[in-house]
Amino acid sequence: MGKKMSGRFVAGMSVEEALAACQRVNKEGIAVSLDSLGESVTTEAEARNSADIYHELLDAIHTRGLNANVSVKLSQVGMDFDPALAERIVGEMVEHAFHVQSFVRIDMEGSPYTEATIAMTEHLAAKFPGAVGTVLQAYLFRTEADTERLLNQDIRIRLCKEPTRKALRSPSPPSPTSTPTTSNS
In this structure, are residues 61 and 68 in contact, taking their beta carbons and an 8 Å threshold?
yes
Residues marked active site are found at 107, 158
Which amino acid is residue 136, in one-letter code?
Answer: L
